[in-house]
Structures are given as structure tokens and as C-alpha cells.
Amino acid sequence: MIKKVYIETYGCQMNVADSEVVVSILTDAGFKTADNINDADLILVNTCSIRENAEQRIWRRLKAISYLKKKNKGIIIGLIGCMAERLKEKVLEEDRFVDIVAGPDSYRELPLLFAEAESGHKAVNVLLSHEETYADISPVRLDKNGVSSFVSIMRGCNNMCAYCVVPYVRGSERSRDPETVLREVNELFNSGYREVTLLGQNVDSYRWDKDGLNIGFSELLEKVAGIDPLLRVRFSTSHPKDISDELLKTISRYDNICKHIHLPAQSGSNRILKLMNREYTREWYMDRISAIRKFIPDCSISTDMISGFCTETEEDHQASLTLMEWAGFDFSYMFKYSERPGTRAARKNKDDVPEDVKSKRLTEIISLQNKLSALSKKNDVGKVLEVLIEDYSKRSRDFMSGRTSQNKVVVFPDKGYYKGDYVQVLIERCTSATLLGKVTKH
């Protein structure tokens, strides 16, 4: 009898890419994917540990799906990903419905772990690897639009940021063979995809120095962009300490390398940046923003900001706000500091900023970013922008939706266009989240 697997994915884009690798491994082992959780023999929850509320969400979800185990004891439930790596003992102790616990580097073992769980034993593999990149596996694409997809170019992280759990749950940094990256991107393009996002915890530190090849991220990005001018290329995430003028010049030379850079600042205070072990200063960060503006004038820039990191004062907070205002970020991901057990900050720094102060500062950060985002969108009104159509608008099938090179969402009336088409859109107005216009050229 053919077994069916149902997978739910939480967290970052890397987890989305990992889920596609997992489905590929299980498909090769004879599984089929289930569109409905009630039809599955194996339920996998791919998890995130970056913040406490992400883990709490997973605990609630595990509790919610435990009823399936009560109805059918033959169902196998597996927890995979970062939370599985971090909380393996706790998961097995506190959730009797979880049968499999697998870390990010043990997905090849899932068929064996399933067999072990079927025999009535708890199955666990959370060993981290210095070599695993899953480079030889062709992911099974789980996205539904068939237009954009993610391609992982590296795994792990060597940046020991004080607040971050990633190096502990994903291991040390290792880059993927560029030939396998190019092969995967070519397969996507030939299958009709028109946009890829190259993924890594720090893409700027990608380096392949084997088999006579010496390739950094700038060279890899150029090779991917050279596959076809109709293929848009994005990447995430850059680290401020590593983003180079060479990379910026490469982006500027290719129209199909998207003009959007995500450059997490986290704080505008030098004191806090040092405590965070970010390895750059406010002045260095500002220099990198200035370089982006110089080499890629039409580039949009997004960032991450954390409010209430250990010992943060009102002066530190104001430094973050002034940095945001100076940079004029197009959009941001903004969070309250959440202490993660085992990290450097948890070991060495007291989480001493009161929750109400964290919340107040986060509200101020969000309020400022809303103003900056609104200004960014208003500046696009009257422009004609190239949009890659991704799907119908969520609100009406009379409208279609896509994104600009700068990663801004545009909605416009459907006049018989198709997903994957490029259209020129005159931006007529904007909302807080969306640009609205009409197609001038198809």
C-alpha cells in the first residue's frame, strides 16, 4: 500500500526549500503527497525556533492535530527542522503523539525513521553535519503558482550573533556546488518558472573552492542571471559586514537581477550592535546603504529591527529610529527581543528590558516604518514599472497581482494576461500595502 505524506511548513524561506527537499526524498522512497491532512499516513511539521512565539505556535498545532492520532493510531507524526533540533528531549518527553524527531541535516534518513516509528519505537536523528547540502536532490515544488521558487545555495551559519539560535540548530556554514545550483535553476526555468530566490543565512559569504573552481557569491549570481534574461533572480539574506561593492556592481549590470536588497540592521546603536556581536558599526552600515544608492539608484532596501535587546536604553532606541529615518527603508521586519536558550545573549546578558518598554519601542518602530513605506509607495505613483504576474488578486479574479523588481506588490485589471507574463504597469495610486495601476504594455 502506498503511503501518503502531508507536510506543514512554518518559519523562513529556507524551511520552505527544505520541505521541498523532504518531499523529494520521501517520493523517491515511494510516498505520495496528500493534499488533505486527514488522508495522510505521515504528518510532518517543519518548524522554526527563531522566536519563542514561533515555537508556541508549533506546540499549539501539535496539540490540535493530536486528535488524528486518537482516531487512527497508525498515523505517524513527525517534528522536523529547527525546533526539532533544539528541543528534541522536551518534544519526546512532553508530546507523546510525536513519533519522529528529525533535525535539518537528517532528512535523508526520514524513510528509515518512518519505518522505525511504524514498528512502535520513537525515531530520532538530530545529528548536525559539516557537509550536508542536499545538492544532489531535485526538490519537489510545493508552491502552487509555478512562477517563483526558492533555491538553497548554502546551509548553516558561522555568524554567532548573540541573540540567534540558527548556528546551533542548522550547524556551521557550508556552500553548495555551483554546478548543482545552476542545474536546479535551469530545470526551474525550463519548467516555466520565471523567478528564483537564492537562499542562505548569509549569501554574501557563499564560497566554492573545490574541483578547480573558485566562485564567490557575486560570480554565482552572475552565472544564474546569465541563464536567460527572462529569469528574474532574487537573493536573501545579505549581511552588512560582508556585502561588497563587487556584488553591487554585478547587480547593477543585469536587468534581471532584482533591485531589492534585504540588509538587516537589527539596531542603530553601536553599543547594542557590539553586544549583539554583529561585527559592524552604525557608520559601516550607513556606508553600505550609501554604496547601494550609488551603484543601484533604483534599489529598494528592507531591513530587520529588534526592539528591547539586553540593556537597551532610550538613547539606543532613538539611534535605531534615526537610522531607519536616514535610510528610508522601503519595508522592515520588526520584532521584540525574544531570549533563546543556549544563545550567547542568554548565557552572558540579562534580558532586562521590561516587556511594556519593548512593546512601546516596537510600536514606535512600526509606526515610523509605516510612514517610510507609505512614502516609498507614493514615490512610485506616476511611474511605469515592470511587473512579473504571479496570480490573481486575492480580493477579485477581475484583477491580477505581481511584483516589481523592487519587490513591491502591484494589482491591476486582468485583460487576458497569464501568470509568468511580464507587463508594464502605470502606477496610478497606492494603498498602505499595494501599488495599483493599469497595464500600458504587454
Collapsing DSSP to helix, strand or coil, 18 comes out as: helix
The domain of 100 spans: 4-125
Please check the confidence at residue 124 and state whether its pLDDT lies above 70.
yes
CATH number at residue 278: 3.30.750.200
pLDDT value of residue 95: 67
How far apart are alpha carbons 75 and 62 in whole angstroms? 13
Q: Are 214 and 153 contained in the same domain?
A: yes
- Please tell me the total count of domains within the chain: 4
Residues 6+ apart with CB under 8 A from 180: 135, 136
337 lies in some domain: yes
How far apart are alpha carbons 80 and 103 in whole angstroms? 6
Cα-based angle 268, 274, 278 (whole degrees, multiple of 5): 80
Q: Are 282 and 362 contained in the same domain?
A: yes
315 lies in some domain: yes
135 lies in some domain: no
- Residue 183: count other Cβ atoms within 10 Å of its Cβ: 14
- Per-residue pLDDT tens for 139-198? 998 887 899 999 999 999 999 999 999 999 999 999 999 999 999 999 999 999 999 999
Average pLDDT for residues 379-404, to the nearest whole number? 96
Q: Are 366 and 302 contained in the same domain?
A: yes
What mean pLDDT value characterizes the chain?
95
Please check the confidence at residue 336 and state whether its pLDDT lies above 80.
yes
Please check the confidence at residue 432 and state whether its pLDDT lies above 90.
no
pLDDT value of residue 180: 96
pLDDT confidence tier of residue 94, bands split at 50, 70 and 90: confident
- Per-residue pLDDT tens for 184-242? 999 999 999 999 999 999 999 999 998 788 999 999 999 999 999 999 999 999 999 99
Average pLDDT for residues 126-131, to the nearest whole number? 89
14 lies in some domain: yes
Buried b (16+ CB within 10 A) or exposed e, 279-314: ebebeebbebbebbeebbeebbbbbebbbbbbebee
pLDDT value of residue 441: 81
136 lies in some domain: no
Please check the confidence at residue 1 and state whether its pLDDT lies above 90.
no
pLDDT value of residue 142: 87
Domain end, chosen from 125, 159, 186, is at 125
pLDDT above 70: percentage of residues in the chain: 100
Q: Are 106 and 126 in contact (CB under 8 A)?
A: yes
